[in-house]
Amino acid sequence: MHWDKVIFLAHAKEDKPKVIRLYHDLKKEGFEPWLDEFSLQPGENWEIKIMEAITKSRIFIACISKNSDRDGYFNKEYRKALQVLEEKKPNTTYFIPGFLDDKVEPPDFQVGTVNIKDYHAAKLYTEEGKKLLFNMLITDVTQRLAESGSPTQSRTTTT
C-alpha cells in the first residue's frame, strides 16, 4: 500500500452505505480509499490497524452527518486525525470534513490548537461537491509529484 496516496474514510456506522458509495466513487477515479469494510484483513487487530491507517494516510475525510454528533469510536478517529494534523506543516491538506447530508454542521470538536470548524467541508451529498473534492485531490497529487521531482505521466514525442 502506498500510504502517500491513501484516503482514510471515517464515518459513523449508520452512514456505512453512503460511505461505501463514496469509497467506490473514489476507486473509480483512481484514488486509494481506506475503509474498514474493505481494508481490514481477517485476523488483524482492527483498532491498531485503524489508528495506523489514520496516522499514515495522506488524507483523512471525516464523513459527517446527523449520526456523527454523539459519543463513539468515530470521535476517537476524529481525535487521532486532529492530533496527526497538528503535527503537520501549516497549510498541509490532510483533514477534510465531508458532509453526507444537507443542513449538517461540523461538530465543535477541538484537539490542541486544531478545531474541525476551522476546515471547509466538501458537500458529498451533491455531485458538484464530490467533483470539487475529486478535483482538489487530483491537484494535491499533482503538486506532490512536482515537489518530489517524480516524473509525471506526460508524454513526449520524438520525431
Is 157 within a domain?
no
- Domain with 82, as residue range(s), is 3-148
Is 17 within a domain?
yes
The CA distance from 147 to 128, in Å, is 28
Q: Which three cell numbers stand for residue 121?
A: 467541508
Is 63 within a domain?
yes
Is 51 within a domain?
yes
Residue of 81, 85, 96, 93 lying closest to 129 (CA atoms): 96
Is 154 within a domain?
no
Is 158 within a domain?
no
Task: Provide the residue-wise pLDDT of the chain in tens; the chain has 159 residues.
Answer: 778 789 999 999 999 999 999 999 999 988 999 999 999 999 999 999 999 999 999 999 999 998 876 667 878 898 899 999 999 988 889 999 999 999 888 777 788 888 888 888 999 999 999 999 999 998 887 776 567 665 544 323 233
Residue 42: CATH number of its domain: 3.40.50.10140
Cβ-contact 4, 144 below 8 angstroms:
yes
> What total number of domains does the chain contain?
1
Is 34 within a domain?
yes
Can you give the pLDDT at residue 71?
Answer: 66
- Global pTM? 0.86
- Phi, psi at 57, each rounded to 5°: -65, 150
Q: What is the largest CA-CA distance in the chain?
A: 64
